[in-house]
Chains A and B, each alone.
Chain A
Amino acid sequence: MTANAVEVQNLQKSYDGVEAVRGISFEIRAGEVFGLLGPNGAGKTTTVEILEGYRRPDAGTVSVLGIDPRRPTLDWRERIGVVPQSGELYPNLTVLEHLRLFAGYYAQPRPVNEVLELVGLEEKASAKTRTLSGGQRRRLDLGVALVGDPDLLFLDEPTTGFDPGARRAAWETIRSLRSLGKTILLTTHYIEEAQRLADRVAVLRRGEIVATGTPAELTGVAPASRISYRKDGERIDLQTEDPTRVLHELTGEALRGGARLEALEVHRPTLEDVYLSLTEETE
């Protein structure tokens, strides 16, 4: 048993000569939520589908729960859960029937009532899938992936297309999964989602990892803090690596001179600033 749930070394994958993933390496520790953040087409889904065993890498080594996904075993499948980026279920089965059907595939499933509660579909238990809203279907996707009680869960863009309220509810669910001790690989192109949910984030751009770390670490190496205010009707913007000192000097000077710093604001860099500076195309 390794401490890392997932280990990826120098992973490469091309489709028809186009390099989708260009030699990436990362590891996911057991029990953490790992975010793979990047714009569309950065190689997130390719990476995840290699880890899930759907695609074979061209080069590199991959270990998922100690198994090479190129040679998946049924025992291994018992321990992983997959929420694909797209796809339907059976339109004529109810929510409960879906959960019972998939629970039957596993040796030790999680009780379906618990899963219903976890994904918040208790009231829709006897509704046919085709009557569900998009968000409810996505929650059923999650339920179907959870019913086997997996140790490792792959969530490929779980909230794409959600309205803000539904997204927040989904985040709550994912947090509760983390507290159940699940290891989660989450791909997303929403910066806020990675920042709120992930213990660690890898930023993927054009098939390469351009940064890895906790959200705090990533914002720590970020562009400088910004201080802005208005003086004599003129807006002034300062960038500084040392906002405390600069602010002290500024306010001190203003007080001594009896002036006011109108609309004084200090902006800490967000993951968004980092992400944009890392993923912006410089062509």
Chain B
Amino acid sequence: MRLLLHQLRAEQRLFWRTRELAFFTFLLPIVFFLIFASAYGDEEIDGADGYLHLLAGMIGYGAAATTFAGLALLLVIRRESGVLKRLRATPLPAWTYIVAVLASIVFVFLLEAVVLVALARLAFDVALPGRPFSLFAVLLLGAATFAALGIGLTALIRSAEGSSAVVNALYLPVTFISGAFFSADAFPAALRAIAEVLPLVHLIRLVRDVMVFDQAAWDRPGAVAVLVAWCLVGSVLAVRGFRWEPRER
């Protein structure tokens, strides 16, 4: 436990000191929320208040940006620079390390969600979520799913140089077609079908239902099932593909 806290503190320091990472994963969804909410927040989107629609979308985008993209990048860079290999020679247990890394990035995401909700309340007078525990459960499920997929993705990335290109090419288009920024209704049916198979659209829908329609997390079992399924797929990929040593020799 002492080791876990020690490593968690270090992870937080490392995350906030890596300014590019902190900007693109933590700050950007918040900035986008402010920009887009001032532009079209007062319109109605898909039968919901535009501010709430965008808030849920940016929370989903934040989940993908921090726990998927941020985690994958951070792990690839550490793997390729030999930091992970070096850690294996110390008495820090592997699980303690992994739990600390995960806890740290999930904390960043939860903080981001809190800031988004607070900004929506303060700047646009959006009501606070009526079911905070359901919201919390949904956010944790989303974070777990994307973190598992993020670790799984590291197996497919060979070098630190190409990593951000690969990661961005994957999650940014998915964020768009999942309707994080605006209604996905305008997209072609084929794109929407792809989005339906992927986890992000379901996370955004769950967040929206909990916040807009005051539903409990389990009122949409189909969406929960898709997230759980992706979480399992990601976990299998993560366990099979995770490497401590650089890919390049």
A residues adjacent to B (C-beta < 8 A): 52-54, 74-75, 77-78, 80-82, 84, 86-90, 92-93, 97, 101-102, 104-107, 144, 148
Contact = CB atoms under 8 A, between A and B. Distances in A.
The contact size tier of chain B is 20 to 34
B121 interface: no
B186 interface: no
Contacts of A77: 89-91
Report the 6 A-B pairs with minimum CB-CB distance, sorted nearest first: A87-B82, A92-B17, A88-B81, A82-B89, A77-B91, A104-B6
B13 interface: yes
B93 interface: yes
A104 B86 contact: no
B13 A82 contact: no
Contact of B82 (A52, A53, A84, A93): A84
17 contacts: A54-B85, A74-B91, A74-B93, A77-B90, A77-B91, A78-B91, A87-B81, A87-B86, A88-B83, A90-B14, A92-B14, A93-B17, A97-B13, A101-B10, A104-B10, A105-B6, A106-B91
Interface of B: 3, 6-7, 10, 13-14, 17-18, 81-83, 85-86, 88-93, 245-246
Contacts of A53: 88-89
Contacts of B85: 54, 84, 87
Contact of B86 (A74, A80, A144): A144
Given A90-B14, A92-B14, A92-B17, A105 B82 contact: no
Contact of B83 (A75, A89, A107): A89
B15 to A, nearest CB: 10
Nearest to A79: B91
A105 B10 CA distance: 12
Contacts of A101: 6, 10
A94 B18 CA distance: 13
Contacts of A81: 89
A205 B13 CA distance: 45
A101 B14 CA distance: 11
A261 to B, nearest CB: 55
B13 A93 contact: yes
A93 B81 CA distance: 14
B204 to A, nearest CB: 33
Nearest to B244: A54
A105 B92 CA distance: 5
A280 to B, nearest CB: 27
Nearest to A78: B91
Nearest to A107: B91
Contacts of B7: 104
A101 B91 CA distance: 12
B90 A105 contact: yes
B85 to A, nearest CB: 7
Contacts of B81: 87-89
A53 B3 CA distance: 22
Chain B CB within 10 Å — which of A52, A90, A148 has the most? A90
Contacts of A87: 81-83, 85-86, 246
A148 B92 CA distance: 11
A229 B70 CA distance: 71
Contacts of B245: 54
A52 B17 contact: no
B25 to A, nearest CB: 15
A104 B4 CA distance: 10
B73 to A, nearest CB: 14
A170 B3 CA distance: 32
A101 B3 CA distance: 10
Contact of A52 (B10, B13, B89): B89
Contact of B91 (A52, A88, A105): A105
A185 to B, nearest CB: 13
A81 B89 CA distance: 7
Contacts of A89: 81, 83, 86
B91 A84 contact: no
Contacts of A88: 81-83
A97 to B, nearest CB: 7
A60 to B, nearest CB: 21
A84 B84 CA distance: 12
A145 to B, nearest CB: 8
A75 B83 CA distance: 21
Given A77-B91, A107-B91, A84 B13 contact: no
B82 A86 contact: yes
